[in-house]
Structure 1
Amino acid sequence: MDAGRTGEAETEALEFDLESFEHLVETPRGHIVRVTGRWRGVQSVLPHPTLVTEDPEKGPLSLAPLPIPGQDAPKVDGTTEWRGSYSIPKDRFTRREGPACRLQAAPGSVYDLPELVLPEAPLQASHKPPPGILPTAYRPAAAAGPGPAAPDEAEAAEPIQTQRFTDLILPAMRSHRRLVLGLIALAVVGAAIGVLVRSPTYTAVTTLVVTPLPRQDVTLSELPELRTGSNPESTIATTAELARSRDVSTLTARRLGRGWTQQRVDRTVVIEPVSGSNNLTVTAVDDDGPRAARIANTFAASAVEVRDQRLRRLANAALTDARAQLAGTADPAGSQAQALELRISALRQILNAKEATLSVSHAADVPASPAGLPPLLAVFLSALAGVVLAAGAAVLLDIVGSRRIGRTQDITAVYPLPVLARIPAVPRRRQLRGRVAASDGRLREPFRSLLLQFEVATGTHTSLMLTSPSNGDGKTTSATGLALAATDAGRDVVLVDLDLRKPDIAARLRAELTHGIEDVVAGHVAVEDALAPVPGNPRLLLLSPLQPVPLSGLGEVSRQIDTIVEQATRLADLVILDTPPVGEISDALTFGRAVDDVLLVARVGRTREAALETARDLLERSELRPAGLVVVGATL
């Protein structure tokens, strides 16, 4: 074969059309790669091709394909896709560079493969693999003994993951959702009742202006209450106290009419000085807008009138005294007589004037709307206060309750199972998109690694069940991610949503359901007819309830689960069951007996130690030992 031509046969009798040569996963002993393509030639069937790696120092090394179910010997018809997986030892790699590889189908038929591209940060085996998951040739020696293996150095050094503020509050609120919803509902209902039963309150304000006599005017020394002091604000405050007199309230009550008393006026009206000015505000509060304006204006007019009457009394007394002094003056033309004449003139001006020292600056208008918050805003703010209170209560209960698990080794300490995959935490908004595995390499690689461990394992592994200790652990995300990884690998998959009380995989994958699992157990349709295609993924079919299944239907699904899984495995290469959390609902204990393997999903920073212990005890008592753990949110 020419050096520059890749994927062509050196003979005309046998040709190979290469589609891909890709790295799958790194294991403790080497790198597993996969070759995909189509064979054409005169022969009908070929033996399994071998992979030959070249090394200038060590020489060539021939590798037989891994015994993976579904990867059969190639058919030489030009249309059937062939796949072969091989494990290349690590000593054949130099500084992350792969060796030169060739594919040999028969003597004299050698095909050069392109350069092997490795991930920038390939995932190491996440934990000691469980017995039966990897064949002996690929199982580390430390895992051969009985009992759980000790964590490796990377795992022992795994730091406790720090949590953002929202990572603390949102999981706590989801864990105590009933308390949260109850407190929010209580706040909203209380606010709504308050809005309904409260009377509208209207506020009307009348402004008075105070004009005290000058302090330097000695002609009116008999009227000290009308003079300014050294502190103008003190003078205004004194006038406000005078306006609050019993006489003003009594006159106001009399003018307002029947039902009004001096005490009621005092409760309804508030008089306050305006800082930095000579103004007083008269504020009246009532459940009727026009009446509130009338009360404020009536009280202001009464205050002016009472003040005017007092002023006139003082002025009349001073005028009578000044006239008597003038009549007894010996020299009518003298300075004393002139001063008395000036005082008499000033007093006459006060008697003839109106509102000399206190007057209405602005009368109260009828208020257009009630005072206070609008009803809808009041309800909204009450709901917001309820959310804050509920969040605080949930976090407090979270702190004093069972602790959350912060590291992967804490999970394995409670339940000593092998960690088969570590999945980065997926934001909730991305979970709803469904295609989490196909859109992010950091997510795709762990699922491919998990899938590969079952492909190379001995025994039958065509049906898997995923469960978790509690809600929010990433169980459904892991089930959909594993299903999508399997379809990306060319396998036909049936994904079964068995979280019957709240199914949501159909919404995540945007699958349109015509029939549901309830129709299957009722005998209306067969499993094949109830499968719904997933848009954009022809290899993935979904079996899900049309709506939450009532309690009466849960038992029937449990009784027929063996038949459902058996029929689904005839239609696909892999069947994946997404079940409710085993630590909260017992459905998974029944469903687990119908599958080949069980996976337990736990989430760092989310799963509680008590919930994990409960799940462990339930599974062990039911004799359902999971094949391993899928840890969500672990450090990669």
Structure 2
Amino acid sequence: MDFGEMVRALRRGWWMPALGLLLGGLAAAAITLMTTAVYTSHTQLFVSTTDSSSTAEVFQGNQFAEKRIASYAELLTSQELAARVVADLGLDLTPGELVSRIDAAPVSGTVVLDVGVTDPSPEQAQRIARTVADEFVTAVEELETPAGALTSPVKVTVFGAADLPGSPSAPQPVLNLAVGLVIGVGVGAATAVVRARLDRSVKDPDEVADLAGAPIIGVVLRDDALEDDHRIDPQSSGRSAEAYRHLQTNLQFLDVDTPPRVLMVSSAMPSEGKTTVAVNLALSLADAGKRVALIEADLRRPRVISYLGLVDGAGLTNVLTGQAQVEEVEQPYGKDGALVVVGAGPTAPNPAQLLASGAMRALLEELRAGHDYVILDAPPLLPVADATGLAVLVDGVLLSVRHGNTTKEQVQRTRATLDRVGARTIGAVLNIVPVRDDISSAYGYDREYAAQPASSAG
């Protein structure tokens, strides 16, 4: 996944970082509220040597102290020293619990030790820090005094007296919130990128064209009205109507010398909008002055007649079985009669055989002679074999690919299915694209260009 793909993934999944930001902030606030406030008292200890009467001895003494300083830091957090402090103050703590509250570290390049003691009570933290310093001075004197000597060559001085903390050292609400927000955004962004990486559905027009082996000749945005009614008003200036006008225009110029006139509209799987594409493509072509025949060739789940509000009854199966002529079952749609519709007719027990039959070939030739375009709404190609045999009888196949639903593998298998029988895929329609998707702005579909009065036009 390159940088551009990551950016697109974050744009499409923008709500994940936003949700992560919210959850991270809430988690930080909850942790802050549930954490007991503690205070830290600080003190500093200076380590030196006592037998330093000359400059050389002072230098050697400092080197000696620097080498010992790490050991002294360990001594400050030892169980033995903690036990002495517990005994001195009568604390209700074990030496191990007290050790966990003491932090000691040498200041780099110096002979100074920083000591911090944490406790829920600021006064108690100060008392413990003061006692730790006193006990440490005594312990060093005991450890460093040679046998038979009265004084220790090492001297520890309390350089900074234990302070009384005025504010809690933890929790830190601002820091916690900042960390929570950063982690939340990071996790959300990572989730969006990983989700896009694992998502096998197609969303990019160029990718669809590459997988299908045919150009994208139409992009249709999601339209609630179209999902309910399934048909456009060809005279409308809305996005959906304009999208289908683009589709019918692109279709007419696919091959100027031998334009495809008998078209099968299909998809890889059900629920990818193929019937809606077939119906509205036919309406757009008829509105452009073309004579169009729309055939309901999906004999298993016919939808065209119901979408157009026509009468269900005799139809394609009657014609293919020799029970009727096409003129007897076709129904005109619209005022000018430019569009005629042939319904599926009664349910057939052998739809695949009927659609690939010689009778179907003869019917298509008959309709070709009397119409500029013949549009067939065919079954999906992968679940059933009905459309595969029909695909070789038409001039070309138009695939409806549903944005974010159809997978890459399904498009590839559909292409392979059509290639095996020698069918021609003339183009694809990327269907039901979210209005907020990048494709919308890239194709200019995020703006309407309705007519305005002459005085305000420009």
TM-score (norm 1): 0.36
TM-score by length of 2: 0.49
Structure showing greater Rg: 1
Greater relative contact order structure (CA < 8 Å, 6+ sep): 2
Q: Larger helix proportion, structure 1 or 2?
A: 2
